[in-house]
Chain A
């Protein structure tokens, strides 16, 4: 009996080794281990044996069965591994050939900077407010405490429109509009297009972009403004960049200031960019003039506030080392492509 079973295993092995697919293996399995197999019929025979011989006989059949199963599994593994190997190197591949890109485009550098500024201020708890480019004397000048004979109202400075109105010279107009509509507390930035009658040159453009910030609440001080400016400077330009303010004059702020940041190029030691001063002028700032509040019906005894304005073109030129403002408005693809990925 034992010999017969050994022979059976041998026979099964030779059958199994020629199998080239899983299906072949299933057929062989049925042949040797299935219901109609020789092995299976032996189980039935066991009943006829004396009970003392049964365990040994049973063990023998089980061992045979296990042998065949192992052989099947081994061959199955071999078939799979063979298939995997084949699927791996079907053809020669030159991995140095170019990969497939998605042909993505890109944002304009001014938008990249604007989004960065939005993000910084949104993160600092500001909201973004917008207003019309075409505005009037009240919102652009009167409400901002600008005297009627102030030089900025000149045709040489401000674009006026046929049929009335003007093109805003700063986005402070939005601050006026927000204060007209919403009671304090107010914490906004107003980004947008501004217009001044300047001939285009490396640092001027009749159309440019600004972001202004306005904070109005109880207990807002110049110190809060300095705090915000230094936060903005260090987030926007790097943690080592500091800011300072110097006395200046604007009709709508009192006290007024110009703000500088330490030179992002030389770090303050002096270079061509900062004209060897170590500082770069960033924009105007100041505490909202009580007159502005009075005009807009906000109690200036209860509320104080600060405002500051930043030029987006200027920041972009500084960050990306762009020498001429006009480059930004040529929309040359060779310029635009340099800023793909929207990194700053």
Chain B
């Protein structure tokens, strides 16, 4: 089919679906004494993919990253990079590079020397080293700080230098350990955009560890959600957000209404737990006509919170279930008032069993 072919060509990033995965973890486990940080993990990361490991602190995502880098050895299982077994290889024997959370720039070397360090170890000729360092600093838009020491840079600048230092080596895989965690919100959002642009430009597989669900959804082609040493779900951001497979995924990614009991039975015929996103629900007058293919519940509005672009309604259905509704402010505002009884309506396909 010609259409699919052009499509695949157009989206440069995740093309090699059928080739060897960039990273493959097979039944990987890691214990620290009695504590099982990672439990029998299977994961495949595709070439050229922006892949995020998302989870709360202590969920095992950083341990997985450190095992891929070679800083920790797994206590069980096998790790492959580009089809080669590297389970017990030393960090300096793996074609991966890491951007550390605290950047880990060498304080006794200038910015240029920091970026050049790995190239020197690879014994590249001086001229090529200089050219590649200049190119890397150009890419992160900091060509002027080459002669400075890391201590003379701002946090955002250090972050970029750390990125340049890793990318200049053109590894198969770049590992990023919460690289934006130390930056303030504005800078972080700016860096997210740049990071994504750089990843698209260099086409290297990025494995990105974060506990920030919004960051993971914004940046990633695919995300693995970690929960207590295991992966609950792997999928594209929209997969995870709209079709969460577990209660944990549903509540960790954004806000959700978890519905069980009587209301669940009314909606799906079974009392199994449902996840329903607040923004999928619309508030309608009781006397309006229910559209086909929708589910509905009658509810009283108990509280209204105005947040600028949206308004949140805290409601209670006649089954006693609390439902939160998020409404875009603007032309379609319902104008519902506190204490009024309304009908909550949403497309039935959003009743998602978790």
Q: Do A and B bind each other?
A: no
Residues of A at the B interface (CB closer than 8 Å) are: none
Mark B residues whose CB is within 8 Å of A: none
